[in-house]
Amino acid sequence: MSSKANGIKQLATNKKAFHDYYVLERFEAGIELSGTEVKSIRQGKVNLKDSYCIIKNGELFVRGMHISPYEKGNIFNRDPLRPRRLLMHKREIMRLHGHVMREGMALIPLSVYLKGSLVKVEIGLCKGKKLYDKRQSEAERAAKRDIERAIRQH
């Protein structure tokens, strides 16, 4: 099934998250945005590179997510790096909070996409990789690339 059939359009992906963390579980969350931020995101001007999520007073926030100011937004533009509230059920937030506090995991935004007309954020419950894990996954990727290249040449 294609993403067009589901009404999902991928806008940004956090490739660094997949390099630095093991993604154990994925969650979908809505995001609270202003009008000019939505327009900017629809143009694909969003960056998740160094972003992370925190839970504060029972609410989930994303920090470090850069949404470039909308060109025609003038006075209505907001700070590009401001913390933005993510919308999830209270029960889910409390469950994630338990995992983060007990097991030392991190909540990392993995992607931003449009689902119908709504902007959604995919959050991953992640565990950090050690340096040797990163080297091993890089070696596996390189081996896979070499195999595909050899197959194409023959």
pTM to 2 decimal places: 0.76
Across-strand partners of 60?
55, 86
CATH number assigned to the domain comprising residue 7: 2.40.280.10
| Residue 106 maps to a domain | yes
**140 within 8 A of 131, measured Cβ to Cβ:** no
Lowest mean pLDDT among 35-49, 70-84, 109-123: 70-84
* 64-107 residue pLDDT tens: 888 888 777 677 677 777 888 899 999 999 998 888 888 878 88
| Residue 154 maps to a domain | no
- Domain with 59, as residue range(s), is 3-129
Share of the chain above pLDDT 90, in %: 13
| Residue 97 maps to a domain | yes
| Residue 66 maps to a domain | yes
| Residue 70 maps to a domain | yes
* Number of domains within the chain: 1
| Residue 146 maps to a domain | no
| Residue 90 maps to a domain | yes
Question: How far apart are the C-alpha atoms of 76 and 80, rounded to whole Å?
Answer: 12
| Residue 140 maps to a domain | no
- Note the pLDDT of residue 61: 92
DSSP states of 49-108: TT-EEEEETTEEEEES-EEPPPGGGGGGPPPTT--EEEE--HHHHHHHHHHHHHH--EEE
* 13-40 residue pLDDT tens: 888 888 888 888 899 999 988 788 888 8
Share of the chain above pLDDT 70, in %: 95
Across-strand partners of 126?
23, 106
